[in-house]
């Protein structure tokens, strides 16, 4: 039975590799391994966005002071994307922008297909529309560069390869768990960090093309570093360390500034002040 399972797994692995999409990032020339079609990826993005909008716990902001800056920045970033090396993909996306009223959550994302969301809790980190553009440029690149599909493809292949190894070596549950952790540390986490760095680099260029000062990205990550004390070491994180990010951004800055200097400059306003509410108190234990 083990030989049959091993043979089946090897055959399935071969089929997946034969049908894998072969492409490379147009900015970095990095090869991309893709098992998921672009249509499938966009469909998943649409479904995730619809689920978010339908979640009763999610409060969509209607406050112009919060929504208008995000919409202004998005309009310019999307326009820049449509002039970029991702122009064809950006023009095919059905873009939408949502501001989520959640002052505790420092988050933003862009889904395949062009669905962008910003949580109001990230406004203090962004501080102004230049900072907002730095975050948005980064997130939009994740969608344009198909990082989500690449991540899913790599996860699927890693898990399939792991099953082949554990079957071939006759590993028990403990051995399988250790092998799974090794795959996570040795393959999946560094792969995710390469996505983050790629989004930092291309996002910086996109931000400059949109007319926003790319130098704010360094100040943004300096603020992020101050508010993320106690973060895990880089080798255990899916994101580059803040110090690494800042160093890389400074290295890429001359290229971004050359683009910014010839761009149509955006008018920049400060973001509304968001005061994070105190953390929710845990209920006191019942006295017996």
* Separation of alpha carbons 9 and 15, rounded Å: 10
Query: What count of residues does the chain have?
Result: 288
Our answer to whether residue 234 is catalytic in this structure is no
Q: Which of 41, 139, 150, 209 is catalytic?
A: 139
Q: Which two tokens stand for residue 125?
A: 């980190």
**CA distance readout (Å), 55 to 49, 59, 63, 123, 217:** 10, 9, 19, 22, 32
* Separation of alpha carbons 46 and 139, rounded Å: 16
Residues 6+ apart with CB under 8 A from 276: 103, 104, 121, 124
Burial of 103 (0-12, 13-18, 19+ CB in 10 A): middle
Q: Which two tokens stand for residue 142?
A: 């994740």
Q: Which two tokens stand for residue 16?
A: 């997946």
Contact 199, 141 (CB under 8 A): yes
**CA distance readout (Å), 79 to 101, 158, 199:** 26, 37, 17
Strands 96-100 and 115-119: parallel
* Separation of alpha carbons 18 and 265, rounded Å: 46
Residues acting as catalytic residues: 139
């Amino acid at each position: 039975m083990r030989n049959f399972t091993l043979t089946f797994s090897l055959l399935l692995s071969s089929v997946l590799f034969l049908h894998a999409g072969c492409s490379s990032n147009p900015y970095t020339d990095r090869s991309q391994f893709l098992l998921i079609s672009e249509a499938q990826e966009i469909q998943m993005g649409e479904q995730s966005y619809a689920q978010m909008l339908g979640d009763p716990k999610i409060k969509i902001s209607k406050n112009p002071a919060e929504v208008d800056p995000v919409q202004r920045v998005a309009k310019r970033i999307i326009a820049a994307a449509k002039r970029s090396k991702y122009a064809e993909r950006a023009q095919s996306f059905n873009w939408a922008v949502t501001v989520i009223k959640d002052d505790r959550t420092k988050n933003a994302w862009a889904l395949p297909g062009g669905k962008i969301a910003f949580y109001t809790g990230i406004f203090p980190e962004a501080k102004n529309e230049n900072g907002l553009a730095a975050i948005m440029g980064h997130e939009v690149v994740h969608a344009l560069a198909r990082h989500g599909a690449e991540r899913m493809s790599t996860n699927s292949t890693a898990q399939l390869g792991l099953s082949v190894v554990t079957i071939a070596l006759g590993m028990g549950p403990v051995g399988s768990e250790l092998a799974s952790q090794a795959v996570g540390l040795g393959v999946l986490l560094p792969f995710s960090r390469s996505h983050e760095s790629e989004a930092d680099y291309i996002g910086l260029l996109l931000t400059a093309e949109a007319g926003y000062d790319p130098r704010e990205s360094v100040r943004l990550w300096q603020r992020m570093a101050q508010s993320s004390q106690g973060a895990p070491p880089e080798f255990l994180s899916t994101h580059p360390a803040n110090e690494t990010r800042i160093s890389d951004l400074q290295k890429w800055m001359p290229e971004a500034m050359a683009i910014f200097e010839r761009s149509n400059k955006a008018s920049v306003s400060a973001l509304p002040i968001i005061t994070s509410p105190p953390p929710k108190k845990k209920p006191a234990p019942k006295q017996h």
